[in-house]
Amino acid sequence: MPLSASGPRVLLRQLREVMAGGVSAQERLDEIVVMIAANMVAEVCSIYVIKTGGRLELFATEGLNPKAVHETRLEVGEGLVGVIAANADPLNLSEAQNHPAYVYRPETGEEIYHSFLGVPILRSGHTLGVLVVQNRASRHYSEEEVEALQTAAMVLAEVVTSGELLDLGVDDDDDIGHLRSHRLQGAVIAEGIGLGMVVLHEPRVIVETLIAEDMDSELARLNVAIEALRDAVDQMMENDDMARFGEHREVLEAYRMFAYDRGWNKKMREAVETGLTAEAAVERVQSDNRARMLRSRDPYLSERLHDLDDLANRLLRVLTGQEGTAAAGDLPKNAVIIARNMGPTELLDYDIERLRGLILEEGSTNSHVAIVARALGVACVAQAADVLDLVDQGDPIIVDGDMGEVHIRPSNDIVDAYRDKVRFRARRQARFSKLRDKPAITKDKVRIQLGLNAGLLVELPHLKEAGADGIGLFRTELQFMIASRFPRMDEQTEFYGSVLKAAGDKPVVFRSLDIGGDKVLPYLAHAKEKNPALGWRALRISLDRPALLRLQMRALLRATGGKTLNVMFPMVAEVAEFEQAKAFVDREISFIGAQGYKLPEKINLGVMLEVPSLLWQMDQLAQVVDFISIGSNDLLQFLFASDRENPRLASRYDPLSPIVLNVLRSVVQAAEQHDVPLTLCGEMAGHPLEAMALLGLGLRSISMTPAAIGPVKAMVRKLNLGELADELQDRLGSSQHSLRPFLQEYAEKRKLLT
pTM of the model: 0.66
Give the closest residue to 607 by CA, choosing from 538, 521, 531.
Answer: 538
pLDDT for residue 259 is more than 90: no
Percent of the chain with pLDDT over 70: 88
According to the model, what pLDDT value does residue 247 have? 40
- Predicted pLDDT of residue 754: 73
b/e burial code for range 257-295 (CB count within 10 A of at least 16 → b): ebbeeeebeebbbbbbbbbbbbbbbbbbbbbbbbbbbbe
Q: How far apart are CA 270 and CA 272, in angstroms?
A: 5
pLDDT value at residue 368: 66
Kindly state the DSSP code that residue 466 receives in the 8-state scheme: T
Q: Does the structure show a pLDDT above 50 at 602?
A: yes
What's residue 493's pLDDT?
A: 94
pLDDT per residue over 568-577, tens digit each? 999 999 999 9
Element (H, E) at 267: helix 262-273
**CATH classification of 182-203+331-414 is 3.50.30.10, yes or no?**
yes
Q: Quote the pLDDT of residue 1.
A: 46
Q: Which residues, including other chains, have CB under 8 Å from residue 111's CB and lie 6 or more apart? A: 97, 104
- Higher pLDDT pick, 388 / 209: 388
Could you give the residue range(s) of every CATH 3.50.30.10 domain in the chain? Answer: 182-203+331-414
Our measurement of the distance from residue 633's CA atom to the centroid of its chain's CA atoms, rounded to an integer in Å, reads 22
Query: pLDDT above 90 covers what percent of the chain?
Result: 48
Cα dihedral 160→161→165→171 (10° resolution): 100
Lowest mean pLDDT among 239-243, 329-333, 340-344, 646-650: 239-243
Residue range 519-559, pLDDT digits in tens: 667 666 666 777 877 888 889 999 999 999 999 999 999 99
366 vs 486, which has greater pLDDT? 486
Give the confidence band of 639 by pLDDT, cuts at 50, 70, 90: very high
Domain span(s) for CATH 1.10.274.10 in the chain: 215-320
Q: How many CA atoms lie within 13 A of 433 on its CB side?
A: 8
Give catalytic status of residue 526 as yes or no. no
Mean pLDDT of the chain: 86
φ/ψ of 80, rounded to 5, equals -65, -40
Which range, of 528-542, 580-594, 600-614, averages the lowest pLDDT?
Answer: 528-542
Q: Which of 178, 182, 681, 687 is catalytic?
A: 681
pLDDT beyond 50 at 719: yes
pLDDT confidence of residue 465? 85
Residue 25, pLDDT above cutoff 80 = no
What integer pLDDT is reported at residue 318 of this predicted model? 85
pLDDT bucket at 292, cuts 50 / 70 / 90: confident
The active-site residue, picked from 126, 201, 368, 687, is: 368
pLDDT higher than 60, residue 502: yes
Q: Assess whether pLDDT exceeds 80 at residue 92.
A: yes
Out of 64-78, 240-254, 274-288, 329-343, least confident range: 240-254
Residue 64, number of CB atoms within 10 A of its CB: 24
pLDDT digits (tens, 9 = 90+) for 145-188: 888 898 888 888 877 776 666 555 544 344 444 456 788 999 88
Q: Pick 687 or 369 by higher pLDDT.
A: 687
Chain centroid to Cα 36, Å, comes to 43
More confident: 249 or 83: 83
Q: Are strands 470-475 and 449-454 parallel, antiparallel or unpaired?
A: parallel
Q: How far apart are CA 643 and CA 649, in angstroms?
A: 7
Q: Which CATH superfamily is domain 215-320 in?
A: PtsI, HPr-binding domain (1.10.274.10)
Q: Is 70 a catalytic residue?
A: no
**Predicted local confidence at residue 203, as pLDDT:** 76
Q: Which of 254-258, 265-269, 638-642, 655-659 has the lowest mean pLDDT?
A: 254-258
Mean pLDDT of 385-411: 88
DSSP letters, 361-397, are SS--TTSHHHHHHHHHT--EEE--TTHHHH--TT-EE
Strand stretches in 539-676, DSSP E: 564-569, 602-609, 627-630
Identify the band that residue 240 occupies on the pLDDT scale cut at 50, 70 and 90.
very low
Looking at residue 176, what is its pLDDT?
46
pLDDT (average), residues 463-476: 92
Looking at residues 595-605, what average pLDDT do you find?
A: 93
Task: Quote the CA–CA distance of 629 and 704 in Å, as a whole number.
Answer: 12
Question: Mean pLDDT highest for which of 55-59, 152-156, 163-167, 264-268?
Answer: 55-59
DSSP string covering 477-506, please? HHHHHTSSSPPPHHHHHHHHHHHHHHHTTS
CATH fold of the domain at 7-179: Beta-Lactamase (3.30.450)
Nearest to 724 by CA among 699, 754, 703, 687: 699
pLDDT of residue 660: 96
The CATH 3.30.450.40 domain(s) of the chain lie at: 7-179
Residue 357, Cα to own-chain centre: how many angstroms? 12
pLDDT at position 4, please? 47
What's the average model confidence in pLDDT over 128-140? Answer: 94
Give the residue from 636, 319, 593, 608 showing the smallest Cα distance to 477.
608
Give the per-residue pLDDT at 573.
96
Task: Locate all alpha helices (DSSP H) within 504-564, ordered by sequence.
Answer: 539-544, 546-559
Topology given in CATH for the domain delimited by 440-524+533-749:
TIM Barrel (3.20.20)
470-475/602-609 β-pairing: unpaired
Q: Which one-letter amino acid corresponds to residue 621?
A: L
Let me know: does 256 contact 183? Beta carbons within 8 Å: no
- Pairing label, strands 701-704, 44-51: unpaired
pLDDT at 301: 61
Mode of pairing for the β-strands spanning 335-339 and 55-62: unpaired
Q: What is the pLDDT of residues 329-380, one digit of tens each?
A: 888 999 999 988 776 667 888 888 899 999 998 777 666 677 778 878 899 9
Q: DSSP secondary structure string, 14-72?
A: HHHHHHHS---HHHHHHHHHHHHHHHTT-SEEEEEEEETTTEEEEEEEESS-GGGTTT-
Listed residue (304, 367, 314) closest to 341, CA to CA? 367
pLDDT at 720 > cutoff 80: yes
Q: 57 exposed, middle or buried (CB, 10 Å; 0-12, 13-18, 19+)?
A: buried
